[in-house]
Structure 1
Amino acid sequence: MPENGSLANCCEAGGRALRPGWPGAGGGRPSANLRPPWVAPALSAVLVFTTVVDVLGNLLVILSVLRNRKLRNYAGNLFLVSLALADLVVALYPYPLILMAIFHDGWALGEAHCKASAFVMGLSVICSVFNITAIAINRYCYVCHSVAYPRIYGHWYTPLYVCLIWLLTVVALVPNFFTGSLDYDPRIYSCTFIQTASAHYTVAVVVIHFLLPMAVVSYCYLRIWVLVVRARRKARSESRLHLRPSDIRSFLTMFVVFVIFAICWAPLNCIGLVVAINPEEIAPRVPEGLFVTSYFLAYFNSCLNAIIYGLLNQNFRREYKKIVLVLWSPWFCFQAAPRGSHAERQQGQALPTVSAQHPIQGDTLEPGSETAARRQTQSR
């Protein structure tokens, strides 16, 4: 079987020799015969589709949270905006560079862009993992520690948590520059994390940046669903857990985001663990198609979250429609806005105050207002 592309990057002289696909390394095209013919068109199609949906979808998520007061007022939705930004950055920088590498059949933008592209790719992946973990912890605290939740996620605390996530992400990427693990892989036309650069570091990356966060997220959602099932089995008067149907849908939505992320990134991380056992022996035996397909899944994940929100969350779906309508026919919306606002004012005047026995059923990704729910419970 042809030599594994990642192993080829760890070539003689400590990885400092010219890599296949780089200008000056035999014309920059010696790796073409190592790659199946379907890789270039398939990867191009995946990247083009992913980039378009990634940019449009994640911009819709960010605009929806900014426009909708119900979505904007909940602290946990800041993690969704952070997750959307993490997915968005790869579509704005690394993906277009990968498309250029496919067009040139090799990396033609120099080592600086290669390192920067691989860094941004890692930034997106690790930041996505940390945000998904933070969202799960947020839901867990709301359900399992509702009394302490307002103190843990106060008005200014959540933005600090988001900044901490991005800071930890940057810190987590710093060791890559000392291990030389950010390099060009000709099999996937990408500057990315090279699994064979350091076996010990690869194991550490998979365990700390994937397995451990996934274990934390699994524990949080398992505890949530155990409490939800118990609360449903008890009478409402006996249960201390008061969750609306919209809260259950929000947990389900983020659980689906977690499951899909795990499915998309598990193959690549499993390959990394297997290769780390013995890079020189195992890396050349990894099927080319399996490795490339694992990257297809990983790239494709960045555009899926916005689709999941639209499919499973009514508020996001409504905001998507409003934003698209404004962009599609801005003059019509500008004329219709005053009439709609007047109709809403009349409807608001005609509606009496909501009874405490029938709370408003919102459909947000953040659980309902804790303070309001607690007041309603005390009034009963």
Structure 2
Amino acid sequence: MMEEEAVLCFPQLNTSCWKPKRPRSHSVLTYILLSCISLLTVTLNLLVIISISHFKQLHTSTNFLLLSLAVSDLLVGLIMLFEGMVIDGCWYLSDIMCTMYYVLQYIATCSSVGIMVLISVDRYVAICNPLHYSTKVSPRRVKILIPLCWICCMLFVSLQMKENLKQTGQFKSCVGECVIVFNMLEQVADLVLMFILPISVIVVLYVRVFAVALTQARAMRTLIMVASRQHSVGVTAKRGEVKAARTLGVVVAVFLLCVCPLYCVSLAGQDTLFDVSSASFVICLAYFNSCLNPLVYALFYPWFRKSVRLIVTLQILKPGSFESNILK
């Protein structure tokens, strides 16, 4: 019965894993779809990275956070290339590559969550405490916080996967399986530190941000009727902050919609043996968020659309292009 429904990953080995027998067209379609999404994710996030890195006007605290998020999303796009093998049911690479796949996956996820928290803090200070924003959230401080965020994620992932890193492939039951094992303590730590705690902070901060933004919007409508030219500049600046908060709120909302299903599976009380092939949909949904972020920027940020045109037309290769007025 098994020979009719499944095939061996490595027919020459008696210890090979079995994989479900699917129509070849399904497997080809899966690989093509994942490859296209991966290519699109890498390309779009590379455009974000080049834009913010190259143009001097974009060197702001908020944009540095978006740059770090784009690096994380770029990493996800590269990881997605290996997802086809896992979904197909057979891992054809080495055990070390399997472990590295999971390590990079968790680092990318952890860093994305960390940056989302920092983005929420950035918008909270900008809207709720604008007079001290330039000192509390200066580009210099953000440049320190971003590497710290990545270092903390690497340390956390190393502690979480210490048993899996001691001997790669020790938990697999057959040749061709890519699997890792988390004990109960590690699962709880992952759920609390990478989901419940950061998501709670993000939601609380953004509820406060939009409450204050709504109050400011009402005040601005009244103020703009009687404001002098000097005051109007301040009103325009506040409008810009509110618009930025709204745009980044969309980014955070999309992130929550894509990532929450993955952790809901964990909350449902799945077995400690976590095999990606058994939860391919929710993982691919979480991955797809990395492709959506640059599309949100394209919809809401004129500077991103303008910078993409300059990059695609190779205008950035001209001397002094980094000083282009990208915000006009």
**Which bin holds the TM-score, normalised by the shorter protein?**
0.7 to 0.9
2:50 to 63, 67, 76: 63
Query: 1:50 matched to which residue of 2?
Result: 37
**Aligned residue in 2 for 1:260:** 254
CA shift, 1:148, in A, is 2.9
Question: Going by fraction, where is helix more abundant, 1 or 2?
Answer: 2
Matching residue's letter, 2:255 = F
Deviations 1:234-288 (A, max 9, x none): 3328999945433333212211111111111111111111125xx38x999xx95
CA-to-aligned-CA distance 1:19-47 (integer Å, 9 cap, x gap)? x96899745341325x8988744542442
Q: 2:64 aligns with which of 78, 92, 105?
A: 78
1:218 Cα deviation after fit:
1.2
| Normalised TM-score (structure 1) | 0.68
1:313 aligned residue (275, 284, 301) = 301
Seq. identity, %: 24
RMSD: 4.0
1:90 to 70, 76, 80: 76
Larger Rg: 1
Question: Structure 2: 5+ residue runs without aligned partners?
Answer: 3-7
Deviates more, 1:48-57 or 1:238-247: 238-247
The answer to whether the 8 Å contact 1:122/1:193 transfers is: no
Compared CA separation, residues 228 and 46, structure 1 to 2 (3 A)? same
Distance 2:179 2:312 in 1: 35
Q: How many residue pairs end up in the alignment?
A: 306
For residues 323 and 169 of structure 1, do their structure 2 counterparts lie closer, same or farther at Cα, with a shift above 3 Å needed? same
Mapping of residues 231-270 of structure 1, within 5 Å? 231-234=216-219, 235-236=222-223, 242=235, 243-270=237-264
TM-score (norm 2): 0.78
Q: After superposition, what is the alpha-carbon deviation per residue over 1:187-223, rounded to whole angstroms, capped at 9, x for unaligned?
A: xx995765xx323422321221012111111111111
Residues 72-110 of structure 1, C-alpha deviation per residue, up to 9 Å, x if partnerless? 2x1221111111111112333x3333345678x521221
The DSSP-based 3-state class of the residue aligned with 2:131 is coil
- Contact 1:203–1:273, Cα closer than 8 Å, also in 2: no
Amino acid at match of 1:78: F
Question: Contact 2:180/2:274 (CA < 8 Å) preserved in 1?
Answer: no
Q: Relative to 1, partners in 2 of residues 1:219 and 1:32: Cα closer, same or farther, differing over 3 Å?
A: same
2:215 is the counterpart of 1:230: yes
Check whether the contact 2:126–2:241 (CA below 8 A) recurs between aligned residues: no
Contact 1:127/1:165, CA 8 A, preserved across alignment: yes
Deviations along 1:114-157, one digit per CA (max 9) or x if unpaired, are 11111011111110110111011011111112233233223421
Deviation at 1:233, TM superposition (A): 2.1
Residue 189 of structure 2 is aligned with which of 185, 204, 219?
204
What does 1:295-310 correspond to in 2, within 5 Å? 295-310=283-298
The equivalent residue for 1:28 is: 16
